[in-house]
């Protein structure tokens, strides 16, 4: 093995370890190793690999959006939470890896860390189902770990079910999409891909959040339709089945969202009411925002709140028009990948998966977090490899 291969292998192991920590410990409250792993990987890259300095711009753009929102808030005398602002800046830190991202296939490196995390979640779920006495112990441990896994009994359409939602679950969507794509293609199918797809769909289903439970099935439908709609004999079955599935999906989604007495829906709708009142009283917040780290009264929480689940509305509240800088970081690779979709079939898969991730992120605080940055690194890595193939 030559020196170049050895250096690459070392970097791959460090990156895979960091991905594993992003996946299994997004709150950094279980192993407390995310910062250490990130610094080690950064140091390794600086020593052994040549960076593309232009990609530092992405990190600068994210910081600029937060800084501008904070400056306008400070000039107006708004009270901001310094710790929360620091967390926002820190959440962007993984973007510092982008100058070296062309050295890594993040999507491939993510497969086993994501699979292992999903498998662990499923194991804990079934342990609790078959041995209910373990629920309290696991619940208390997760409470001490900042609810890395959120456990609850929820009612869907009158049916009470046990749910386990891991905070990084949504970031598994891109790995799942590629695994499912390989599974349905006979010539690309591998045992590993089938296992990853099965484990991750199980993880989504037991999550208990409507978007995470349902939208992966929409993703599966899009992938199946894209790659089989032009097959002559498949159409006799494909169109009727997907048509019925689509009707059932949207009816179920409408039914779940329209349950106004469901606690989660009540909180979300109350948040929206409070946002409406805030922007009605302060329309200039649409221009420069209230400021990151500021609080507003939310009827959903019945108290002054720093953050809610309505991510995109929250970005407007924080930064006003400057939130387009943050959105640019996410929309730019999506647009580029879609433009290159005719060069590689996997571009369709990643574009579908990332678009659905963006939908789910709209009702969960997932963009400015390690979960969002892990997803973003995966997409930029994929884009770089597709562009390199093109050249």
Structurally, the chain folds into a number of domains equal to 1
* Segment 39-54 mean pLDDT: 96
CA atoms within 13 A on the CB side of 74: 9
Please name which of 73, 105, 66 lies closest in space to residue 385, comparing C-alpha atoms: 105
Q: Is residue 315 part of a domain?
A: yes
pLDDT tier at 322, thresholds 50, 70, 90 = very high
pLDDT tier at 120, thresholds 50, 70, 90 = very high
Q: Model-level pTM?
A: 0.92
Say whether pLDDT at 390 is over 60: no
Q: Is 238 exposed, middle or buried (0-12, 13-18, 19+ CB in 10 A)?
A: middle
Average pLDDT of the residues of the chain:
89
* Segment 297-304 mean pLDDT: 91
Give pLDDT tens digits for 65-116.
Answer: 999 999 999 999 999 999 999 999 999 999 999 999 999 999 999 999 999 9
Q: Is residue 77 part of a domain?
A: yes
Q: Is residue 244 part of a domain?
A: no
- Least confident window among 219-233, 320-334, 345-359, 363-377: 219-233
pLDDT tier at 232, thresholds 50, 70, 90 = low
Q: Tell me, what's the pLDDT at 255?
A: 57
pLDDT tier at 329, thresholds 50, 70, 90 = very high
Q: Is residue 312 part of a domain?
A: yes
Q: Which domain holds residue 315?
A: 52-103+260-340
Q: Is residue 370 part of a domain?
A: no
9-to-5, 15, 235 alpha-carbon distances in Å: 6, 10, 45
Cβ-Cβ contacts under 8 Å for 182 (sequence gap 6 or more): 188, 189, 190, 193, 197
Q: Is residue 21 part of a domain?
A: no
Element (H, E) at 253: helix 235-257
Q: Is residue 246 part of a domain?
A: no
Q: Tell me, what's the pLDDT at 31?
A: 94
- Least confident window among 40-49, 207-216, 309-318, 328-337: 207-216
Q: Is residue 69 part of a domain?
A: yes
């Amino acid at each position: 093995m030559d020196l170049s291969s050895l250096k690459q292998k070392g970097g791959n192991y460090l990156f895979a370890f960091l991905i594993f920590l992003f996946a299994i410990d997004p709150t950094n409250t279980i192993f407390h190793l995310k910062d250490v792993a990130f610094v080690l990987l950064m140091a390794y890259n600086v020593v052994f690999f040549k960076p593309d300095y232009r990609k530092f711009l992405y990190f600068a753009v994210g910081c600029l959006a937060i800084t501008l929102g904070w400056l306008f808030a400070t000039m107006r005398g708004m009270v901001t939470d310094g710790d929360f602002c620091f967390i926002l800046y820190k959440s962007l830190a993984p973007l510092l890896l982008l100058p070296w991202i062309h050295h890594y296939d993040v999507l491939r490196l993510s497969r086993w860390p994501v699979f292992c995390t999903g498998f662990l979640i499923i194991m804990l779920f079934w342990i609790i189902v078959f041995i209910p006495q373990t629920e309290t112990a696991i619940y208390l441990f997760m409470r001490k770990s900042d609810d890395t896994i959120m456990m609850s009994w929820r009612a869907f359409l009158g049916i009470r079910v046990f749910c386990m939602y891991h905070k990084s679950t949504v970031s598994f969507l891109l790995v799942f999409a590629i695994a499912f794509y390989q599974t349905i293609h006979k010539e690309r199918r591998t045992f590993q891909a089938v296992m990853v797809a099965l484990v991750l769909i199980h993880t989504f289903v037991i999550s208990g959040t409507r978007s995470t439970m349902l939208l992966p099935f929409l993703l599966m439908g899009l992938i199946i339709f894209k790659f089989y709609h032009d097959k002559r004999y498949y159409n006799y079955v494909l169109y009727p089945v997907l048509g019925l599935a689509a009707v059932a999906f949207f009816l179920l989604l409408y039914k779940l969202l329209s349950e106004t007495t469901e606690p989660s829906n009540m909180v979300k709708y109350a948040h929206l009411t409070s946002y409406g009142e805030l922007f009605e009283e302060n329309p200039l917040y649409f221009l420069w925002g209230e400021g990151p780290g500021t609080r507003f009264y939310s009827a959903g929480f019945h108290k002054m709140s720093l953050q809610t689940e309505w991510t995109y509305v929250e970005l407007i509240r924080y930064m006003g028009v400057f939130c387009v800088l943050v959105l640019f970081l996410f929309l730019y690779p999506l647009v580029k990948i879609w433009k290159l979709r005719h060069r590689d079939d996997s571009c369709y898969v990643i574009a579908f998966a990332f678009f659905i991730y963006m939908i789910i992120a709209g009702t969960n605080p997932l963009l400015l977090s390690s979960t969002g940055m892990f997803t973003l690194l995966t997409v930029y890595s994929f884009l770089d490899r597709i562009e390199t193939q093109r050249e």
